[in-house]
Copies of this chain bind each other. A is one copy, B any other.
Amino acid sequence: MGTIFEFDTDTALRSAGDGRYTGTLTDRWDVGDIPNGGYALAVATRALASELAHPDPLTVTGHYLRPAVHGPVVVDVETVRAGRTLTTGAACLMQDGRERLRVLATFGDLDAVRGPTHLGGVPPELPPPERCVDARGARSGAFPIPRVHRRVDMRFHPGTPGWAHGTPSGTPELTAWLRLADGRPVDVLALPLLVDCFPPPIFELGVIGWIPTIELTVHVRARPAPDWLRCAVRTRFVQDGLLDEEIEIWDAADRLVALGRQLAMVPPGIGDDGPAADDGPATR
């Protein structure tokens, strides 16, 4: 092959021994001026994958301590427990001597899992990608396109998102096709990035602005087939400004490849006065 993909270049790490990995967070995965939280999580997950004996991040939780910045990054990995079928590890992602992200994860081998299957849901129904709405064109002129949306190829269901046209739908949900823009196949290490690359569904309630993630957990449930993914993102419960955000990612073989949930918080001053579609930049 020989192709060098953006995701691999921008999450590359060098081992410094004793579980320490070093790399660089680039400015190619920004939302606003800040590296996307999923990008930081993917870098930490790659460090864990390098250190731990099992290949697949079955469950990864990140707690966001401070925004990441562009530049050098150090990830320290602790092997918490190495077992026969599962390995648990913790990672601290640091920049400029300050911890930005703490991660706890359990890895396993998705080739080795066996057992019953019973799916209480199906992939979202979407017209073909070429008839859907390219995320890079879905924003009004007032909203800058996040740089991370040039790295992913995201195609919203026709007619959505409502907020991009100044008419939030009132239902905090969206569905979309998704792949990496440069053709890199999505693997288990890219999924922690993809679960956090969507505009927040709460935008459809007219609550538009930076919605910081407190914690994000992703379950990687299968290795994705190399083709378009289908995603369903929704917020179920907004209560006093605290909210969940859920995502399902399905592959072309109709397998659930990732299930994610995050806890986020509406900052003071956003959404206090009901619908406010023009209340700020469409960034998070």
Chain B residues with CB under 8 Å of A252's CB are: none
- Residue contact A241 to B205, C-beta cutoff 8 Å: no
- Whether, in the assembled complex, A119 has its beta carbon less than 8 Å from a beta carbon of chain B, the answer is yes
Which residues on B sit within 8 Å (CB–CB) of A241?
113-116
Q: How far is the CB of A66 from chain B (nearest CB, A)?
A: 7
> Which residues from B are CB-within-8-Å of A207?
116
A57-92 residues at the B interface, CB under 8 angstroms: 58-59, 61, 63, 65-66, 80-81, 83, 86, 88, 90
The stretch that binds B, out of A47-55, A142-150, A260-268, is A260-268
Asked if B259 and A244 sit within 8 Å, CB to CB, the answer is yes
User: Could you say which of B80, B114, B240, B268 contacts A240, with CB atoms under 8 Å apart?
Assistant: B114
* Chain B residues within 8 Å of A81, by CB: 65-66, 99, 102
Asked if B242 and A58 make an inter-chain contact with CB atoms under 8 angstroms apart, the answer reads yes
Known contacts A61-B61, A90-B102, A104-B104; 13 additional CB pairs below 8 A are A59-B63, A59-B215, A63-B106, A88-B102, A90-B104, A106-B215, A114-B241, A117-B238, A118-B172, A118-B237, A219-B242, A221-B239, A244-B259
Binding site for B on A (CB under 8 A): 58-59, 61, 63, 65-66, 80-81, 83, 86, 88, 90, 99, 102, 104-106, 110, 113-121, 171-172, 205, 207, 214-215, 217, 219, 221-222, 234-242, 244, 255-256, 259, 261, 263, 265-266, 268, 270-272, 274
